């Protein structure tokens, strides 16, 4: 991936997701229906696993762009494999990752922590961020680069920024 600059610290973000793992096959529509009473909630809770996601934003000196490092694990500490990560990526993003400006998701060593993380390769970040920046200049509007970038790359790996985050970032400028 090239050379990395050490930035004074980094800010990890964590998120927990309830993943439904049902013992029997159930139609997707039935699995998404709201429970009618408390007994159904108890039954569903027993079949639920919590997944912990950890996200780190670092800066690549080689590409001169931010890079999203992430990992996922079960509460008992078992890590997700690359196959598990790919299975969790929505189909519309898989196509872009495999042919579009994203390149791919890979696993590599975190440059600061020295632990295995997944990463969205940064080689095309400038390519897809340039139109965002040009359009914001065209309409004379300030844009927070990191917020815009995260709102584009984050959903690919389950990190969805709330609109309030973008509002707060623009108010601070």
Catalytic residues: 123
Q: What DSSP line would sit under the chain, residue for residue?
A: ---BPPPS---EEEEEEEEE--SS---HHHHHSPPSSHHHHHHHHHTEEEEEEEEEEEEETTTTEEEEEEEEEETTSPBPPHHHHHHHS-HHHHHHHHHSTT--EEEEE-TTT-SEEEEE--TTHHHHHHHHHHHHHHTT----HHHHHHHHHGGGGT----HHHHHHHHHT-
Angle at 81 between CA 76 and CA 87, to 5 degrees: 110
């Amino acid at each position: 991936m090239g050379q990395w600059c050490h930035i004074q610290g980094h800010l990890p973000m964590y998120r927990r997701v309830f993943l439904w793992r049902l013992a029997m096959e159930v139609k997707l529509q039935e699995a998404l229906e709201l429970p009618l009473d408390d007994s159904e909630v108890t039954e569903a809770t027993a079949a639920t696993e919590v997944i912990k996601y950890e996200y780190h934003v670092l800066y690549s000196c080689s590409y001169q762009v931010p890079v999203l490092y992430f990992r996922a694990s079960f509460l008992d500490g078992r890590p997700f494999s690359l196959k598990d990560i790919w299975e969790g990526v929505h189909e519309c993003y898989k196509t872009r990752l495999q042919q579009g400006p994203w390149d791919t998701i890979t696993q590599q060593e975190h440059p600061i922590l020295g632990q295995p993380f997944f990463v969205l390769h940064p080689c095309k970040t400038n390519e897809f961020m340039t139109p965002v920046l040009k359009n914001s200049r065209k309409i004379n509007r300030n844009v927070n680069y990191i917020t815009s970038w995260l709102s584009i790359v984050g959903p690919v790996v389950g990190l969805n920024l709330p609109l309030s985050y973008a509002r707060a970032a623009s108010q601070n400028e």
